Amino acid sequence: MLKDNIKKARLDAGLTQIEVAEKLGVAQAQYARWENGGRNPKDETVKKLAEIFGVTFDKLQGRNNGLDDIVDLLRKVELTDEQKLEIYFLIKKYLGSVK
């Protein structure tokens, strides 16, 4: 659900409701309504939230095919070019074996 995805993304980003509300230029009470499901934000607001949280619009909307989680994990780690190449070849090898 959108409300759960928004809350999780905010917590993962280490932000408070007040901080997010300030970044959006809305009252904290308005933002809280979005998190508790009392109201749904407009798509334009969801796009802004995605930018603030560093996630995709689709992930907040619950249209996550799992790839976002993989990319998020990789972005959290400082990989060397050698490690990136190794991961690339592992994925390519794995996908080559999937029929």
pTM summary value: 0.67
Mean pLDDT to the nearest integer, 27-41: 95
Q: Which pLDDT band holds residue 72 (cuts at 50, 70, 90)?
A: confident
Q: What pLDDT does residue 26 have?
A: 97
Lowest mean pLDDT among 19-23, 70-74, 81-85: 70-74
Q: How far apart are CA 28 and CA 33, in angstroms?
A: 9
Domain positions in the chain: 1-63, 65-99
b (16+ CB within 10 A) / e for 26-39:
beeeebbbbbeeee
Q: Which pLDDT band holds residue 34 (cuts at 50, 70, 90)?
A: very high
Q: How far apart are CA 4 and CA 60, in angstroms?
A: 9
State in Å, rounded, how far the first CA of the chain is from the last one. 32
Fold of 1-63: 434 Repressor (Amino-terminal Domain) (1.10.260)
